[in-house]
Protein backbone atom coordinates (compact mmCIF):
# COMPACT_ATOMS: atom_id res chain seq x y z
CA UNK A 1 0.00 0.00 0.00
CA UNK A 2 2.10 2.87 -1.26
CA UNK A 3 2.06 5.89 -3.53
CA UNK A 4 4.69 5.82 -6.29
CA UNK A 5 5.74 9.32 -5.24
CA UNK A 6 6.12 8.25 -1.60
CA UNK A 7 7.67 4.76 -1.59
CA UNK A 8 8.89 5.24 1.98
CA UNK A 9 5.27 5.22 3.16
CA UNK A 10 4.72 1.55 2.35
CA UNK A 11 2.96 -0.26 5.21
CA UNK A 12 1.69 -3.81 5.43
CA UNK A 13 -1.96 -2.96 6.08
CA UNK A 14 -5.19 -3.58 4.26
CA UNK A 15 -8.51 -1.79 4.26
CA UNK A 16 -11.46 -3.65 5.74
CA UNK A 17 -14.77 -3.79 3.91
CA UNK A 18 -16.53 -3.00 7.17
CA UNK A 19 -17.62 0.54 8.02
CA UNK A 20 -14.66 2.26 9.61
CA UNK A 21 -13.81 5.54 11.25
CA UNK A 22 -15.17 7.69 14.03
CA UNK A 23 -16.94 11.03 14.05
CA UNK A 24 -17.04 14.09 16.28
CA UNK A 25 -19.41 13.46 19.17
CA UNK A 26 -18.85 9.71 19.25
CA UNK A 27 -17.12 7.72 21.98
CA UNK A 28 -13.46 7.14 21.21
CA UNK A 29 -13.02 3.42 20.40
CA UNK A 30 -11.42 1.15 22.97
CA UNK A 31 -7.81 0.47 22.01
CA UNK A 32 -5.31 -1.70 23.87
CA UNK A 33 -1.86 -1.17 22.40
CA UNK A 34 1.80 -1.44 23.32
CA UNK A 35 3.76 1.80 23.39
CA UNK A 36 7.21 3.16 24.18
CA UNK A 37 5.90 3.90 27.69
CA UNK A 38 4.27 0.49 28.26
CA UNK A 39 0.86 -1.03 27.56
CA UNK A 40 -1.90 1.59 27.25
CA UNK A 41 -5.69 1.32 27.19
CA UNK A 42 -7.55 4.14 25.45
CA UNK A 43 -9.66 5.96 26.47
CA UNK A 44 -9.80 4.24 29.90
CA UNK A 45 -6.20 5.14 30.70
CA UNK A 46 -7.02 8.86 30.68
CA UNK A 47 -10.40 9.16 32.39
CA UNK A 48 -11.07 12.69 33.63
CA UNK A 49 -8.34 14.05 31.33
CA UNK A 50 -8.28 15.45 27.84
CA UNK A 51 -5.96 13.71 25.43
CA UNK A 52 -4.64 14.37 21.94
CA UNK A 53 -3.74 11.40 19.75
CA UNK A 54 -1.94 12.08 16.48
CA UNK A 55 -1.26 9.26 14.05
CA UNK A 56 1.83 8.87 11.91
CA UNK A 57 2.41 6.88 8.73
CA UNK A 58 5.59 4.97 9.60
CA UNK A 59 8.83 5.21 11.56
CA UNK A 60 12.01 6.57 9.99
CA UNK A 61 10.15 8.68 7.41
CA UNK A 62 11.03 12.37 6.89
CA UNK A 63 7.65 14.09 7.32
CA UNK A 64 6.73 11.97 10.36
CA UNK A 65 10.09 12.76 11.95
CA UNK A 66 9.45 16.51 11.61
CA UNK A 67 5.97 15.98 13.06
CA UNK A 68 7.30 14.17 16.12
CA UNK A 69 9.63 17.12 16.70
CA UNK A 70 6.84 19.65 16.09
CA UNK A 71 4.40 18.01 18.49
CA UNK A 72 7.19 17.64 21.03
CA UNK A 73 7.41 21.46 21.02
CA UNK A 74 3.78 21.77 22.20
CA UNK A 75 3.99 19.06 24.88
CA UNK A 76 4.22 21.51 27.80
CA UNK A 77 1.48 23.76 26.41
CA UNK A 78 -0.96 20.85 26.32
CA UNK A 79 0.20 19.67 29.73
CA UNK A 80 -0.71 23.09 31.15
CA UNK A 81 -4.25 22.50 29.84
CA UNK A 82 -4.36 19.16 31.68
CA UNK A 83 -4.13 17.38 28.34
CA UNK A 84 -2.09 14.23 27.60
CA UNK A 85 -0.23 13.98 24.28
CA UNK A 86 0.01 10.61 22.51
CA UNK A 87 1.19 9.46 19.10
CA UNK A 88 0.62 6.29 17.09
CA UNK A 89 2.72 4.87 14.28
CA UNK A 90 2.31 1.69 12.24
CA UNK A 91 5.52 -0.10 13.18
CA UNK A 92 6.40 -2.24 16.19
CA UNK A 93 7.51 -0.78 19.50
CA UNK A 94 11.16 -1.79 19.05
CA UNK A 95 11.20 0.29 15.86
CA UNK A 96 9.65 3.23 17.75
CA UNK A 97 12.36 2.96 20.41
CA UNK A 98 15.14 2.97 17.84
CA UNK A 99 13.53 5.91 16.02
CA UNK A 100 13.37 7.91 19.27
CA UNK A 101 17.04 7.10 19.90
CA UNK A 102 17.96 8.25 16.39
CA UNK A 103 16.08 11.54 16.86
CA UNK A 104 17.85 12.18 20.17
CA UNK A 105 21.29 11.37 18.78
CA UNK A 106 20.98 13.14 15.44
CA UNK A 107 18.53 15.98 16.08
CA UNK A 108 19.16 16.47 19.82
CA UNK A 109 15.42 16.22 20.55
CA UNK A 110 14.11 14.05 23.39
CA UNK A 111 10.57 12.87 22.65
CA UNK A 112 8.47 13.33 25.80
CA UNK A 113 5.32 11.38 24.94
CA UNK A 114 4.48 7.74 24.15
CA UNK A 115 4.39 6.32 20.62
CA UNK A 116 1.81 3.54 20.37
CA UNK A 117 2.19 0.63 17.96
CA UNK A 118 -0.74 0.63 15.53
CA UNK A 119 -2.02 -2.28 13.47
CA UNK A 120 -4.59 -3.07 10.80
CA UNK A 121 -7.49 -3.12 13.26
CA UNK A 122 -6.45 0.25 14.69
CA UNK A 123 -6.27 1.87 11.25
CA UNK A 124 -9.75 0.65 10.37
CA UNK A 125 -11.28 1.67 13.69
CA UNK A 126 -9.88 5.19 13.36
CA UNK A 127 -10.76 5.55 9.66
CA UNK A 128 -7.21 6.24 8.52
CA UNK A 129 -7.45 4.91 4.98
CA UNK A 130 -7.61 7.30 2.04
CA UNK A 131 -9.38 6.41 -1.19
CA UNK A 132 -6.28 7.64 -3.05
CA UNK A 133 -4.27 4.48 -3.59
CA UNK A 134 -5.59 3.01 -0.32
CA UNK A 135 -2.94 4.95 1.61
CA UNK A 136 -2.97 5.96 5.24
CA UNK A 137 -3.69 9.58 6.16
CA UNK A 138 -2.39 11.67 9.04
CA UNK A 139 -5.03 12.23 11.71
CA UNK A 140 -5.24 14.10 15.01
CA UNK A 141 -8.03 13.42 17.52
CA UNK A 142 -8.89 15.63 20.50
CA UNK A 143 -10.80 13.64 23.13
CA UNK A 144 -12.50 15.04 26.23
CA UNK A 145 -12.38 13.65 29.80
CA UNK A 146 -15.50 11.54 29.13
CA UNK A 147 -13.86 9.84 26.15
CA UNK A 148 -15.91 11.78 23.58
CA UNK A 149 -14.20 12.83 20.35
CA UNK A 150 -14.38 16.63 20.17
CA UNK A 151 -12.24 17.39 17.12
CA UNK A 152 -10.67 15.49 14.22
CA UNK A 153 -8.03 16.86 11.84
CA UNK A 154 -7.08 14.89 8.72
CA UNK A 155 -4.07 15.55 6.46
CA UNK A 156 -2.75 13.64 3.44
CA UNK A 157 0.62 11.89 3.50
CA UNK A 158 2.24 14.70 1.54
CA UNK A 159 1.58 17.45 4.11
CA UNK A 160 2.90 17.75 7.65
CA UNK A 161 0.59 19.23 10.28
CA UNK A 162 0.68 22.54 12.19
CA UNK A 163 0.85 21.56 15.89
CA UNK A 164 0.06 25.08 17.14
CA UNK A 165 -3.41 24.69 15.62
CA UNK A 166 -3.97 21.77 17.98
CA UNK A 167 -3.02 24.01 20.92
CA UNK A 168 -5.46 26.67 19.66
CA UNK A 169 -8.19 24.08 19.13
CA UNK A 170 -7.71 22.62 22.60
CA UNK A 171 -7.83 26.06 24.22
CA UNK A 172 -10.92 27.05 22.21
CA UNK A 173 -12.74 23.78 22.95
CA UNK A 174 -12.16 24.03 26.68
CA UNK A 175 -13.40 27.63 26.78
CA UNK A 176 -16.39 26.88 24.54
CA UNK A 177 -17.49 23.94 26.68
CA UNK A 178 -16.81 25.51 30.09
CA UNK A 179 -18.50 28.85 29.23
CA UNK A 180 -21.14 27.54 26.77
CA UNK A 181 -20.04 29.98 24.07
CA UNK A 182 -18.94 29.88 20.43
CA UNK A 183 -15.48 30.73 19.14
CA UNK A 184 -14.92 33.09 16.16
CA UNK A 185 -12.45 32.40 13.37
CA UNK A 186 -8.78 32.59 14.39
CA UNK A 187 -9.70 32.96 18.08
CA UNK A 188 -8.05 34.24 20.23
CA UNK A 189 -6.72 36.61 17.56
CA UNK A 190 -9.91 37.36 15.66
CA UNK A 191 -9.61 40.50 13.50
CA UNK A 192 -13.12 41.67 14.41
CA UNK A 193 -13.51 40.67 18.07
CA UNK A 194 -10.01 40.01 19.38
CA UNK A 195 -10.28 37.60 22.33
CA UNK A 196 -14.03 38.10 22.75
CA UNK A 197 -16.31 35.10 22.29
CA UNK A 198 -19.69 34.69 20.61
CA UNK A 199 -22.97 33.98 22.35
CA UNK A 200 -25.26 31.20 21.19
CA UNK A 201 -28.06 32.69 19.04
CA UNK A 202 -31.38 33.19 20.87
CA UNK A 203 -34.24 30.81 20.09
CA UNK A 204 -37.24 33.11 20.65
CA UNK A 205 -38.21 36.80 20.54
CA UNK A 206 -37.89 37.45 24.28
CA UNK A 207 -34.42 35.99 24.54
CA UNK A 208 -33.41 37.90 21.39
CA UNK A 209 -34.30 41.22 23.02
CA UNK A 210 -32.65 40.17 26.26
CA UNK A 211 -29.45 39.21 24.47
CA UNK A 212 -29.15 42.67 22.88
CA UNK A 213 -29.63 44.33 26.26
CA UNK A 214 -27.08 42.17 28.06
CA UNK A 215 -24.27 41.85 25.52
CA UNK A 216 -22.30 43.77 22.95
CA UNK A 217 -23.73 42.98 19.55
CA UNK A 218 -24.09 43.69 15.85
CA UNK A 219 -27.63 42.31 15.98
CA UNK A 220 -29.68 39.96 18.16
CA UNK A 221 -28.17 36.91 16.44
CA UNK A 222 -24.61 38.28 16.60
CA UNK A 223 -23.86 38.95 20.28
CA UNK A 224 -20.46 38.68 21.92
CA UNK A 225 -18.69 39.26 25.21
CA UNK A 226 -15.33 39.31 26.95
CA UNK A 227 -14.40 36.31 29.06
CA UNK A 228 -15.07 37.07 32.71
CA UNK A 229 -11.76 35.69 33.96
CA UNK A 230 -9.61 37.83 31.65
Output the CA angle 82-85-89, nearest 5 degrees: 165
Residues 6+ apart with CB under 8 A from 156: 130, 132, 137, 138
Beta bridge partners of residue 39, listed in sequence order: 34
Pick the closest to residue 138 from 41, 187, 65 (CA basis). 65
The residue count of the chain comes to 230
**How far is Cα 163 from Cα 73, in angstroms, rounded to an integer?**
8
Determine whether 64 is an active site residue.
Answer: yes
Catalytic residue among 9, 64, 83, 223: 64
Which three-class secondary structure state does DSSP give residue 42? strand
Residues of the chain by 3-state class (helix, strand, coil), percent to 5: 30, 25, 45
Query: What's the burial of 8, exposed, middle or buried (CB within 10 Å: 0-12/13-18/19+)?
Result: middle
Where in the sequence numbering do the catalytic residues fall? 64
Amino acid sequence: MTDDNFPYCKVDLYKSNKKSGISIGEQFPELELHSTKGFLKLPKEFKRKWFVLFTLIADFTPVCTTELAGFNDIFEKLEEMDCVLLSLSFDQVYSHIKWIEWIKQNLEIEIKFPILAGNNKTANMLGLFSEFGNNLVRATYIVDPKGIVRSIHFYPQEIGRFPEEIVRSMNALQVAIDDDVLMPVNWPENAMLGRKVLMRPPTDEDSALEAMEQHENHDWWFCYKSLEYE
